[in-house]
Amino acid sequence: MTSLITVLGRGRHPLPPEDAAVLSAATLVAGARRHLESAAVPAGARRVVLGPLAPALDAMEQEAARAGARVVVLASGDPGFFGIVRALGERFGPQRLEVRPGVSSVAHAFARLGLPWDDAVVVSAHGRAPHTAYNLCRAHAKTAVLTAPGAGPAELAAELLRTPGIERRLVVASDLGGPAERVEELTLAEAAARDWPAVNLVLCLAPRAGVGPVRALAGHGGAPAGWALPEDAFEHRDSMVSKAEVRALALARLGPRPGELVWDVGAGSGSVAVECARFGAAAVAVEQDAAAVARIRANARAHGVDVSVVHGRAPGALTALPDPDAVFVGGGGADLPAVVRDCAARARRTVVVTLAAVDRVPAVRDALHTAGLAADGVLLHSSRLAPLPGGVSRLAATNPVFVLWGSRP
């Protein structure tokens, strides 16, 4: 009969007596090199360094099949939270595991600051595209990032510095709960200028990140209660704001979500950027009119979201921005096809364009096709109920608008 595999979360130094007893009886001990070097591994036990997982898992399986074998895995903090328990469960099944968790590094770090973390978003950069972590930090006031080589404090800070108007401070924590524990608070510029050794965790905090209201759902709060908000929910000039019906379809095609970056190009009032941010996406609004830039910032503040605002003209103003997952392009000037072409070349997923002039539709579709996107679209023409004397209503037509989109196959 195969034996259990015991996973010890090393949340305390040294191990508590009951965990130390399990380790002392082990015939094979697996863990990161630093864990194996600091733990009291029995002299006769085989040591397996957790680097590439496949050979380590093979060694554990062979050992666990031997009569009288005891396999122990050393891990950091809570190994079921972005840790080794997932890989072990996939290979051996949860019934073969005995997990003894320690305190997670995230809980430890927030405890050091005296802050609750039920309103924090937690993201891992281990073996994953780092832009997801960067975008969550742009969009959310309280984010914990489990770091990885190439996605540490310096890289995170440098990326955030590319998004104007987003204020953040970093708290860099290493060896939490251990003898070499270190917790440092830095500005983005300070963090970007440092060479960092391997660290466990970075907390990315906005100025307003503190003790927030009581919550029932941890992390990101999910989709907002309503979207495609009425035009009067935004400051705007002379009705220069996307109509709610048009915005509803644009949002459906953009699909904004946490961990993604959305550009709102030719943003006007910034209504699309604000609504994307309400869904949890990071949002950048690009606008050439200075008065409109001020209105975008006011609209973001009014809705309690962070929107990075770039005062400039596309496509030139897009050059220094991080690559987006989705792009919304509003307006209909003569340079619209060139703007769409540049946006489509850099978008990971989709581009949505709204315009009124039928003459520009073929050029926009060509720009989407040229960038390798599958293009589609509709002419959206809605009529709203409007009151008439005598308590009756009529239909008041709004101006027709083309909504075109391109999706990357």
Retrieve residue 99's tokens: 């997990």
Residue 12 pLDDT > 80, yes or no?
Answer: no
pLDDT reported for residue 81: 93
Distance, in Å, from the CA atom of 369 to the CA atom of 310, rounded to the nearest integer, reads: 27
Question: Rounded distance, CA 246 to CA 231, Å?
Answer: 11
What are the residues whose beta carbons fall under 8 Å from the beta carbon of 245, sequence distance 6 or more?
A: 228, 380, 382, 398
Q: How confident is the model at residue 358 (pLDDT cuts 50, 70, 90)?
A: very high
Residue 217 exposed, middle or buried by CB count within 10 Å (0-12, 13-18, 19+): exposed
Q: Which amino acid is at 85?
A: V
- Average pLDDT of the segment spanning 308-312: 97
What angle (nearest 5°) sits at the alpha carbon of residue 363, between those of residues 358 and 365? 90
Q: Among 379, 322, 318, which Cα is nearest to 353's?
A: 379
- For range 222-230, the mean pLDDT: 90
101-114 tens-digit pLDDT: 998 999 999 999 99
When mean pLDDT is compared across 10-19, 252-261, 357-366, the lowest value belongs to 10-19
Which of the four pLDDT bands, split at 50, 70 and 90, describes residue 160? very high
- Each domain of the chain, given as residue ranges in start order, spans 5-103, 106-205, 231-407
Q: Say whether pLDDT at 271 is over 90.
A: yes
Is the pLDDT at 1 greater than 70? The verdict is: no
Output the CATH code of domain 106-205. Answer: 3.30.950.10
Of 360, 114, 379, 353, residue with least CA distance to 250: 353
Alpha helices in 25-80 (DSSP H): 33-38, 53-64
Residue with tokens 């979207």: 227
The DSSP line for 278-323 is HTT-EEEEEES-HHHHHHHHHHHHHTT---EEEES-TTGGGTTSPP
Residue 2 pLDDT grade (very low, low, confident, very high; cuts 50, 70, 90): low
Residue 222 CB contacts under 8 Å (≥ 6 apart), including other chains = 280
The answer, yes or no, to whether residue 13 has pLDDT greater than 70, is: no
User: What single DSSP character describes residue 335?
Assistant: T
pLDDT at residue 217, as a whole number: 85
Torsion region of 77: left, alpha or beta (phi above 0 gives left; psi -120 to 50 gives alpha): left
Percent of the chain predicted with pLDDT > 70: 99
Q: pLDDT averaged over the chain?
A: 93
Q: Name, in order, each residue with C-beta under 8 angstroms of 9's C-beta and a sequence gap of 6 or more.
A: 75, 76, 77, 78, 79, 83, 99, 100, 101, 102, 103
The class of domain 231-407 in CATH terms is: alpha beta
How does strand 350-355 pair with strand 401-407? antiparallel
How far is residue 318's CA from residue 341's CA, in Å, rounded to a whole number?
12
Average confidence (pLDDT) over 88-116: 94
Cβ 197 vs Cβ 161: under 8 Å: no
Distance between start and end Cα atoms, the chain: 49
Regarding beta strands 201-205 and 282-287, do their DSSP bridges make them parallel or antiparallel, or are they unpaired?
A: unpaired
Q: 369 is written with which tokens?
A: 């096709």
Angle (nearest 5°) at CA 255 between 253 and 260: 135
The stretches of 82-164 forming alpha helices (DSSP H) are 85-92, 105-113, 131-139, 153-161
In the prediction, which pLDDT does 241 show? 87
Q: Please, what CATH class does the domain formed by 5-103 belong to?
A: alpha beta
Q: In what order do the strands lie in the sheet with 182-187?
A: 121-124, 142-146, 201-205, 169-174, 182-187
* Residue whose C-alpha is closest to residue 44's, from 33, 57, 31, 29: 29
Per DSSP, the residues of 376-409 read EEEEE--EEEEEETTTEEEEEEPPPEEEEEEE--
Predicted confidence (pLDDT) at residue 3 exceeds the cutoff of 90:
no
* Average pLDDT of span 211-219: 82
pLDDT band at 281 (very low <50, low <70, confident <90, very high): very high
Nearest 5 degrees, angle CA 348-CA 245-CA 132? 25
